[in-house]
């Protein structure tokens, strides 16, 4: 399998320039970063927090940062400063490695997956998808886990319009559902 970065430079960029009429190479939309976020709202135990942090680090390939609550909400039993999630921002090689595992292994292994719907894109061409279980990633095969957690993956692009972002990610190999 070719590297996603090579695929972008050799196949996707020329096709985008032709389709949208970009004259300059730097005007072509590209993937800027990937943000992986895990919320630990129901998990109160610090031991479980460490397990979530360990598995997220194993999946993304770097240490995630803790995300504290910005304000106290009594209904959710949160205090200001309480850790409510972990996040990792991926760029460069780690980003492309994560995306290739997401496209080729994790999404096809997701239960009842029929493709990414177009409503998952915002007006600037950024994609946000949620995964219900972390065990769909190949790094979790053979690991001993006692709790399942979901995650949110946001792919941030430099596209200026929604259509450009959808076309970019479809050409990169994302399984985007097309309307018939």
Distance, in Å, from the CA atom of 64 to the CA atom of 61, rounded to the nearest integer, reads 9
Q: How many CB atoms neighbour CB 55 within 10 A? A: 23
Q: What is the pLDDT of residues 110-156, one digit of tens each?
A: 888 888 888 888 898 899 998 888 877 877 776 667 778 888 999 99
Cα 160–164–168 angle (5° rounding)? 125
Q: What is the pLDDT of residues 34-85, one digit of tens each?
A: 999 998 877 766 677 788 888 889 889 999 998 888 888 887 777 888 888 8
pLDDT of residue 142: 66
pLDDT of residue 108: 81
pLDDT of residue 1: 43
- Pairing assessment for the beta strands 31-39 and 65-68 based on DSSP bridges: unpaired
Instruction: Label residue 2 by pLDDT band (50, 70, 90).
Output: low
CB of 158 closer than 8 Å to CB of 30: yes
pLDDT of residue 44: 67
pLDDT of residue 54: 87
- Quick check: 23 pLDDT over 50? yes
């Amino acid at each position: 399998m070719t590297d996603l970065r090579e695929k972008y430079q050799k196949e996707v960029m020329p096709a985008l320039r032709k389709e949208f009429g970009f004259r300059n190479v730097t005007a072509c939309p590209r993937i800027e970063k990937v943000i992986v976020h895990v919320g630990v709202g129901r998990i109160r135990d610090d031991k479980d927090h460490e397990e979530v942090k360990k598995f997220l680090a194993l999946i993304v390939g770097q240490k995630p940062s803790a995300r504290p609550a910005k304000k106290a909400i009594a209904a959710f039993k949160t205090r200001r400063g309480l850790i409510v999630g972990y996040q990792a921002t991926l760029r460069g090689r780690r980003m492309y490695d994560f995306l290739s595992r997401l496209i080729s292994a994790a999404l096809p292994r997701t239960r009842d997956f029929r493709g990414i719907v177009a409503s998952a894109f915002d007006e600037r061409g950024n994609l946000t998808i949620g995964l219900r279980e972390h065990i769909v990633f190949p790094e979790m095969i053979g690991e001993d886990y006692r709790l399942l957690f979901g995650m949110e993956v946001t792919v941030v692009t430099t596209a200026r319009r929604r259509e450009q972002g959808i076309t970019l990610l479809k050409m990169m190999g994302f399984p985007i559902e097309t309307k018939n």
